[in-house]
């Protein structure tokens, strides 16, 4: 199945005309990106990345970067093959909450200059230097020509993908959470609750600020912030505030525990938290789960899932994914393509674990290259093959991994629509997904842009149609709207 207006997974995407986020809401609400320069995605200009937990820069979400997103070859029709010698691996993507990845580079094109990471903050009020759309970085060969040593020996060790913000070791940050901790207490004590203050304070913090503020609340007031929120609010508004107060890592482990408690399993919650994550994030989640619940995550997953789906998630929890710095090695891509074919279409029955192993242990760039080469070699869309050969939770998990590798932002945009489509809103998924994506401002801007490209409507207006009251205002604040 392919999305309307978007090529099937395994086929090269069209060249983006100006990036995902082209029409921010009117009046430039707080947190919304400004209109980008023509032909650019929302990125931030180069400066050394701020330390985790430093106050976020004072510029709007998604300020444009000098490095255009998707700058290489001329536009191709949907589903058409790229120019000779090129194809379209995805951007190397950091773990959840990390600064967004470098722009997509065509196969064989030069990587973006290392001194200009996508998402690095720029100084307040400094416009990004302009660069013609499609112009390769100075000193690099023209697009479409491979840089020296494009193919590197397979099995070589590469720098590990760093943990996402909030998933690394505890840090003391140069930010004081006392004022916000007092503001939260003031909003909840006495008669009535100041819901607007809760939204204003909680929806604007980065992961390490959320942790610092929660600790400050306990130190100043000898009270538990999350317990107070639960006693003063209710329903999905409460769920969103609690998720924000916990921060991304602590909230992930609570989502996992809730997904595996009671009758049945919230399979989509397991997928959302565990699939397509960096090794560093998976290891952080396992450690935090044990710290909070005094249980091994592997044991609980093993007890909740069964048969080959259980084995699939055991591979996930081994945290053996290729690091984002690992290159696309042509010979290895070809081998994976043949292995996938031999495990599915080439035989009676399916070697499920071979497919699970490949899609779990390859990074996003490699998955996209595999999907493209599979289409080229066998004239079959890899997503269609998975749909034909698998079913149930394993099918959903494999499609999640394939789609995330093909286009992370577009995939997450469809996850948001999935939570709102059909009869009734799947509030549990809507809250957890919006809060998860909101931790990285640039990332959320790109998800919003992908949503508009896919569904031809503004994400904020869609949320307004599915939520109401304080719940609506909280969700809008998380995507960067002024409320």
Residue ranges in 164-295 assigned as alpha helix (H)? 178-188, 195-202, 207-221, 225-232, 235-246, 248-259, 267-274, 279-293
- What is the per-residue pLDDT across 246-285, written as a single tens digit (0 to 9) for each? 999 999 999 999 999 876 669 999 999 999 999 999 999 9
Residue 164 has pLDDT above 60, yes or no: yes
Q: Give the number of other CB atoms < 10 A from CB of residue 18.
A: 17
Q: Encoding tokens for residue 4? A: 């309307």
In a domain, 422, yes or no: yes
The 10s digit of each residue's pLDDT in 170-209 is 888 999 999 999 999 999 998 889 999 999 999 999 999 9
Mean pLDDT (the chain, rounded): 78
Last residue of a domain, one of 187, 217, 233: 233
Task: Determine, yes or no, domain membership for 247.
Answer: no
Where is average pLDDT lowest: 102-106, 155-159, 310-314, 411-415?
A: 102-106
Asked if residue 332 has pLDDT above 60, the reply is yes
Q: How confident is the model at residue 423 (pLDDT cuts 50, 70, 90)?
A: confident
Residues whose CB is less than 8 angstroms from the CB of residue 307 and which lie 6 or more positions away in sequence, other chains included:
none
Comparison of pLDDT for 36 and 305, the residue scoring more: 305
Final residue of a structural domain among 211, 233, 255: 233
Q: Is residue 433 part of a domain?
A: yes
> Cα(403)–Cα(459) distance, rounded to whole angstroms?
20
Would you place residue 20 in the very low, low, confident or very high pLDDT band (cuts 50, 70, 90)? low
Residue 184 lies in a domain: yes
Residue 122 has pLDDT above 60, yes or no: no
The pLDDT value recorded for residue 361 is 98
Residue 413 lies in a domain: yes
Give the pLDDT score at 130: 36
Chain centroid offset of residue 40 CA: 20
Number of domains comprising the chain: 2
Please tell me the total number of residues recorded for the chain in this structure: 483
pLDDT-based confidence at residue 57 (cuts at 50, 70, 90)? very low
Cα 112 to chain centroid distance, Å, stands at 20
* % of the chain surpassing 90 pLDDT: 63
Look at residue 191 and tell me if it is in a domain.
yes
Residue 327 lies in a domain: no
Assign residue 128 a region: left if phi > 0, alpha if psi is -120 to 50, beta otherwise? Answer: beta
At residue 192, φ and ψ (nearest 5 deg) are 80, 170
Domain that holds residue 225: 177-233
The CATH number that applies at residue 464 is 1.10.220.10
Q: Is residue 385 part of a domain?
A: no
Residues 292-297 have a mean pLDDT of 98
Last-in-domain residue among 209, 233, 257 = 233
Does the structure show a pLDDT above 90 at 473?
A: yes
Listed residue (70, 68, 50, 71) closest to 59, CA to CA: 50
| Long-range interactions of 86-90: CB distance < 8 A, separation 24+ | 86/144, 87/12, 87/369, 87/372, 87/373, 88/12, 88/13, 88/368, 88/372, 89/328, 89/364, 89/365, 89/366, 89/368, 89/369, 89/372, 90/364, 90/365, 90/367, 90/368, 90/405, 90/406, 90/407, 90/408
Report how far residue 215's alpha carbon sits from residue 172's, in angstroms, rounded to the nearest whole number.
11
What is the per-residue pLDDT for 171? 86
The band of 483, judged by pLDDT with boundaries at 50, 70 and 90, is confident
Q: What is the pLDDT of residues 374-386, one digit of tens each?
A: 999 999 999 999 9
Residues with Cβ within 8 Å of 75's Cβ and at least 6 positions away in sequence, in order, are: 14, 15, 17
């Amino acid at each position: 199945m392919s999305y309307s207006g978007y090529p099937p997974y395994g086929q090269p995407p069209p060249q983006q005309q100006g990036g995902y986020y082209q029409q921010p809401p009117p009046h430039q609400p707080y947190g919304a990106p400004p209109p980008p320069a023509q032909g650019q995605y929302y990125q931030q200009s180069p400066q050394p990345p701020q330390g985790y937990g430093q106050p976020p820069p004072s510029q709007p979400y998604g300020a444009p970067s000098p490095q255009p997103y998707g700058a290489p070859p001329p536009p191709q029709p949907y589903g058409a093959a790229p120019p000779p010698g090129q194809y379209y691996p995805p951007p190397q993507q950091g773990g959840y909450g990390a600064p967004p990845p470098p722009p997509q580079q065509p196969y064989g094109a030069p990587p973006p200059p290392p001194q200009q990471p996508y998402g690095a903050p720029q100084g307040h009020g400094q416009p990004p230097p302009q660069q013609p759309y499609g112009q390769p970085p100075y000193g690099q060969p023209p697009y479409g020509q491979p840089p020296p040593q494009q193919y590197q020996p397979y099995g070589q060790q590469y720098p590990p993908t760093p943990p996402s913000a909030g998933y690394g070791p505890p840090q003391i940050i140069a930010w004081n959470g006392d004022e916000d901790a007092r503001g939260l207490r003031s909003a909840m004590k006495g008669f009535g609750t100041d819901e607007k203050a809760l939204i204003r304070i909680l929806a604007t913090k980065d992961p390490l600020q959320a942790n610092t503020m929660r600790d400050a609340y306990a130190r100043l007031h000898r009270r538990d912030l999350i317990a107070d929120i639960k006693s003063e609010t209710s329903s999905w508004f409460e769920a969103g505030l609690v998720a924000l107060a916990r921060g991304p890592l602590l909230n992930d482990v609570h989502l996992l525990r809730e997904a595996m408690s009671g009758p049945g399993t919230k399979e989509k919650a397991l997928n959302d938290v565990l699939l397509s994550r960096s090794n560093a994030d998976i290891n952080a989640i396992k450690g935090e789960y044990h710290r909070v619940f005094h249980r091994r995550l592997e044991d609980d997953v093993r007890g909740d899932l069964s048969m080959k789906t259980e084995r699939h998630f055991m591979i996930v929890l081994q945290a053996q994914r290729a690091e984002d710095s690992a290159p696309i090695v042509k010979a290895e891509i070809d081998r994976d393509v043949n292995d996938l074919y031999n495990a599915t279409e080439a035989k009676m029955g399916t070697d499920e674990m071979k497919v699970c192993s490949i899609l779990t242990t390859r990074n996003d760039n490699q998955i996209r290259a595999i999907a493209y080469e599979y289409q080229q070699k066998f004239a079959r869309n890899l997503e269609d093959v998975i749909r034909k050969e698998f079913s149930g939770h394993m099918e959903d998990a494999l499609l999640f991994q394939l789609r995330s590798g093909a286009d992370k932002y577009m995939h997450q945009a469809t996850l948001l629509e999935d939570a709102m489509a059909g009869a009734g809103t799947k509030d549990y998924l809507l809250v957890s997904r919006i809060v998860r994506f909101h931790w990285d401002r640039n990332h959320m801007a790109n998800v919003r842009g992908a949503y508009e490209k896919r569904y031809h409507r503004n994400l904020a207006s869609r949320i307004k149609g599915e939520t109401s009251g304080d719940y609506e205002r909280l969700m809008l604040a998380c995507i960067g709207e002024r409320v």
